[in-house]
Chain A
Amino acid sequence: MDAAPYDAIVEKLLSQTKNGKILWSAASHIERRDAVGLIYKTEVEHQDIVLYEYRYKTFDELEQPDWANEVAVEFVDLRNALELRFPPTDSRWALLREVRRKVSGVDAFAEKFLSSDDDDE
C-alpha cells in the first residue's frame, strides 16, 4: 500500500473545496470517539467521505500519558460506518481548516459584519 494516492486524493479534495466544487456539511448525527469539534461529510464520485479532528493518547518515555491530535479522512458506507481511514497526508490539516472555514460561514459573516455601520451609541 503506497501513501502516494492518499496524498493526491486529499490534495484534490482541498483544491476542489477551495473553489467550491466540493461542498461539505456538518454531520452531527455521526459519532466518532475522541472527535474534536464537528464532523464533516461530503460525497464525491458516489463515495461518502468524512473528515474530522480527533485526539489520541500517547505515552512519553516515562510512560506518562499525553494527548496528540490528528485529522481523520475516512471513506464511510451509507450508515456512516468506517470503510477506510486514510493514513496521514500532507494536506490533511489544510483541508480541515478550509472545510471549517467554509462550513462555519465566517467569510459571509465577516463580509456582512465588517461592512455594517458601527452603530455603537
Chain B
Amino acid sequence: MSGWLVKASAVAALSAGVWLLALVVCGRLSDAGSWASLAGFAISGWLVYRAELLARRVSVMLRVPALTRRLRASSKNIRQGLTNNIPHVIADALGSINAALESLAVKALPAALRARVEELEQQVVALLAVPAGTRSPDECDLVRERAAALAEALENSMRDMQS
C-alpha cells in the first residue's frame, strides 16, 4: 500500500512536469484552463503524498503496541541472561530487539525518536557481531536500559500522535 502510494505520488509529480512542459511548448501559458488542470495535478500529487505519510503513521501506530511489548520482553530477558550468566538468552533477546527495530518504519517517526532507534540499532548490531560469551555485560545492560526506555518513548509518542 505504502509503496503503491509512493509510485502514484511520483507519477502525479511527473505528469505535472510533463504538462507544464507541454504548456510551454504549445505557447498556452496564458490559458487559464491549462493552469487549472496543472494546479489539479499538483494538488492531487500533494494529496497522494500526504495520504502516503498518513498511511505510514497509521501503520506505525498499529504496530507500536506489539513492538513495545517485544522491546520490554527482550529487555527483561537480557536482565535474566545477565543475572544467570546465560549467553544464549542474551543473544536471543538482542536478536529480538534487532528484529523489532528493523520492522519499525523509522521514517514515519519523529526526528528525536528516529535518532534513538538508529543509535540503539547500531549498538545491538555491534553486540550481535561479538561472539556469545564474550559480550561486555555493561554494554548488554546499556542496551537493556535503552530498549526499555525506547519502548516507553514510543508509547508516549504514539499517544501524542493520537491526541
Which of chain A's residues have a CB closer than 8 A to the CB of B87? 3, 87-88
Which of chain B's residues have a CB closer than 8 A to the CB of A108? none
Interface 1/0 per residue, A45-57 and B, CB below 8 Å: 0000000001011
Q: Are A70 and B86 in contact (CB-based, < 8 A)?
A: yes
> Known contacts being A59-B73, A60-B73, A62-B69, is A85 close to B80, with CB within 8 Å?
no
Q: Which residue from B85, B132, B134 sits with its C-beta under 8 Å from A85? A: B85
Which of chain A's residues have a CB closer than 8 A to the CB of B144? none
Nearest CB of A to B83, in Å:
8
Which of chain A's residues have a CB closer than 8 A to the CB of B88? 88
Complexed CA–CA distance, A85 and B81 (Å): 12
Which of chain A's residues have a CB closer than 8 A to the CB of B73? 59-63
Nearest CB of B to A52, in Å:
12
Complexed CA–CA distance, A35 and B50 (Å): 58
Q: Which residue from A2, A58, A62, A88 sits with its C-beta under 8 Å from B80? A: A58
Complexed CA–CA distance, A68 and B132 (Å): 19
- For B92, the closest partner residue in chain A by CB is A58
Complexed CA–CA distance, A62 and B96 (Å): 12
Q: Are A63 and B86 in contact (CB-based, < 8 A)?
A: no
Complexed CA–CA distance, A59 and B81 (Å): 12
Q: Which residue from A1, A56, A61, A87 sits with its C-beta under 8 Å from B70? A: A61
Q: Which residue from B70, B80, B132, B133 sits with its C-beta under 8 Å from A57? A: B80
- For A54, the closest partner residue in chain B by CB is B84
Complexed CA–CA distance, A72 and B85 (Å): 9
Interface size for B (C-beta < 8 A) is 20
Q: Which residue from B72, B77, B86 sits with its C-beta under 8 Å from A88? A: B86
B111 within 8 Å of A (CB atoms): no
Q: Which residue from B66, B76, B84 sits with its C-beta under 8 Å from A59? A: B76
Interface 1/0 per residue, B40-74 and A, CB below 8 Å: 00000000000000000000000000100110111
Q: Are A56 and B84 in contact (CB-based, < 8 A)?
A: yes
Nearest CB of A to B85, in Å:
5
Q: Which residue from A1, A57, A61, A68 sits with its C-beta under 8 Å from B96? A: A61
Nearest CB of B to A9, in Å:
14
Complexed CA–CA distance, A104 and B76 (Å): 36
Using CB atoms and an 8 Å cutoff, list the residues of chain B in contact with chain A.
66, 69-70, 72-74, 76-77, 80, 83-89, 96, 132-134
18 contacts between A and B (CB under 8 A): A1-B133, A2-B133, A2-B134, A56-B80, A56-B84, A57-B76, A57-B80, A60-B73, A61-B69, A61-B96, A62-B73, A63-B72, A63-B73, A70-B84, A70-B86, A72-B84, A85-B85, A87-B87
